[in-house]
Amino acid sequence: MSIEYINRLDIVTGKKENVKNFFENAKKIGFEDVAPIPNELYSIKSKPNISDKYKQKLIKKYETIDVEEWKRRNWGTSFNFLLDEYDTVIYLEGSNSILFSTTNNPPIPWVITASIKYQLGLQLYYYEDSNFHVGQFQVENGMILKDFQIENIYDLDNLKSFSNFVDVINIYSKTNSLQEIEELFDYYLNNYYKNLLSQVGKSSSEIDIEIKKYEILYFELHKLYTKNGDLFTKKDLQEFYINFIKLCNNIKMIESKLNNNQTLNIDNLII
């Protein structure tokens, strides 16, 4: 079963001519512009009696004789959805960006190769919503500057670092998917937290009062939706983060009490 990644590629640095050529060729040829599939690998399919010696020669040269495996190694994905003819790609040339989908993986190998060929600084933001995997990858002329990823943003421990929190918000913002953040907080606040409070014997009215304390999260989230500009700064996200961490700490406190069969005094919760 394949999974879909939503990607946004931003051109951060590069000569105008190189940027222009990159866009033009990506539209026409897609991933094959910088990483063309070797003809030798295609020819194997039409030669069933090919010798083992020749196969070993190709494996030494390309690390595989399978075209699909070669694509995954060199593009990061199996399908060339970067072509302008597909509805899975949007070229935002005014902002030097591309929004596009890939299957099973983000196209990191292709991004590295493209940055080398066109002497560009590139930044890739990606997410997939079945395993909640998000990441940011930055490279300049083949040199990797940043490789950040979180396998599961629904694991609260992955978001308790402020820098991780800022990166994740910006990844979702860049890929036009801030609603995913709202769903994350809504899950923890209106499902998981409520359920924990119920498990420790709190009444419906007590639970409603406790949940209401965190409505500020939605207010802070609304400010993110309406903010003008590109990336969010730590200052933009500080208030949001503080309230989110209060919620995380209360969840962890209740989980600990439940695991140790202790009674919870709701007055001890962080407000």
CATH of the domain at 108: 3.30.70.1270
Tally of domains in the chain: 2
pLDDT, tens digit, 9 for 90 and up, residues 135-164: 999 999 999 999 999 998 888 888 888 999
11 within some domain: yes
52 or 108: whose pLDDT is higher? 108
pLDDT, tens digit, 9 for 90 and up, residues 40-87: 877 776 666 777 777 788 778 878 878 888 899 999 998 888 887 778
Statement to judge: residues 10 and 139 lie in one domain: yes
266, with CB counted inside 10 A (0-12, 13-18, 19+), is middle
Statement to judge: residues 190 and 259 lie in one domain: yes
Give yes or no for residue 216 having a pLDDT over 60. Answer: yes
**What whole-number distance in Å separates Cα of residue 220 and Cα of residue 212?**
14
Q: Is the dihedral of CA 237, 242, 247, 252 positive or negative?
A: positive
Statement to judge: residues 190 and 121 lie in one domain: no
Give yes or no for residue 271 having a pLDDT over 70. Answer: no
* Structural domain containing residue 257: 178-268
pLDDT, tens digit, 9 for 90 and up, residues 230-256: 688 888 888 889 888 888 888 888 888
Task: Enter the pTM of the model.
Answer: 0.85
Statement to judge: residues 91 and 134 lie in one domain: yes
Statement to judge: residues 120 and 186 lie in one domain: no
**What whole-number distance in Å separates Cα of residue 237 and Cα of residue 169?**
9
